[in-house]
Amino acid sequence: MDLFDKCAKYDVAKKAKENNLYPYFHYLNSGQDIVVNMEGHRVIMIGSNNYLGLTSNPEVVEASLKAVEKYGTGCSGSRFLNGTLDMHMELEKELAEFLGKEDVVTFSTGFMSNLGIISAVAGRNDVILCDKENHASIYDGCRLSFAKMLRYEHNDMQDLERQLQSIEKDKGILIVTDGVFSMGGELCKLPEICALAKKYGARVMVDDAHGFGVFGEGGKGTAAHFGLEDQVDIIMGTFSKSLASLGGFMACTHEVCEYVRHNSRPFIFAASIPPANVAAALAALRYLKKHPEIVLNLQHISDYMRKALTIRNIPIRKSDAPIIPINTYDDWRTFYACKQLFDRGVYVNPCISPSVPVGEAIIRTSYTATHTEALMDEAADIIKGVFDELPSCEYFEKMRADYEAKQQK
pLDDT at position 356: 85
**pTM of the complete model:** 0.94
The question of whether 182 is a catalytic residue gets the answer: yes
How far is residue 335's CA from residue 396's CA, in Å, rounded to a whole number?
Answer: 10
Catalytic residue among 64, 182, 264, 366: 182
Whether the per-residue pLDDT at 340 is higher than 60: the answer is yes
**pLDDT tens by residue, 360-403:** 999 999 999 999 999 999 999 999 999 999 887 777 666 666 65
From CA 183, how far away is CA 133, in angstroms rounded? 9
16 has a pLDDT exceeding 70: yes
Q: Answer yes or no: 406 catalytic.
A: no
Closest C-alpha among 296, 163, 162 to residue 218: 296
Portion of the chain with pLDDT greater than 70, in percent: 96
Give the separation between CA 394 and CA 332, rounded to whole angstroms: 11
For residues 401 and 229, the model is more confident at 229
**Residues sharing a CB contact under 8 Å with residue 208, sequence separation 6 or more, in sequence order:** 179, 180, 221, 222, 223, 235, 236, 237
- Which of 142, 138, 148 minimizes the C-alpha distance to 178? 138
Read off the pLDDT band of 355 (50, 70, 90). confident
Q: Residue 256, by phi and psi: left (phi above 0), alpha (psi -120 to 50) or beta?
A: alpha
| Secondary element (H or E) of residue 369 | none
166 is catalytic: no
Q: Which domains does the chain have, with CATH numbers?
A: 5-51+293-408 (3.90.1150.10), 58-290 (3.40.640.10)
Stretch 317-323: mean pLDDT: 94
DSSP assignments along 219-268, one per residue: G--HHHHHT-TTT-SEEEEESSSTTSSS-EEEEE-HHHHHHHHHH-HHHH
Mean pLDDT calculated for residue range 276-293:
98
pLDDT band at 50 (very low <50, low <70, confident <90, very high): very high
Closest C-alpha to 264, from 114, 135, 130, 83: 114
Q: Which of 88, 101, 210, 371 is catalytic?
A: 210
Which one of the listed residues 101, 135, 220, 241 is annotated catalytic? Answer: 241
CB 325 within 8 A of CB 186: no
Please answer whether residues 135 and 170 qualify as being in contact, where contact means their C-beta atoms are separated by less than 8 angstroms. Answer: no
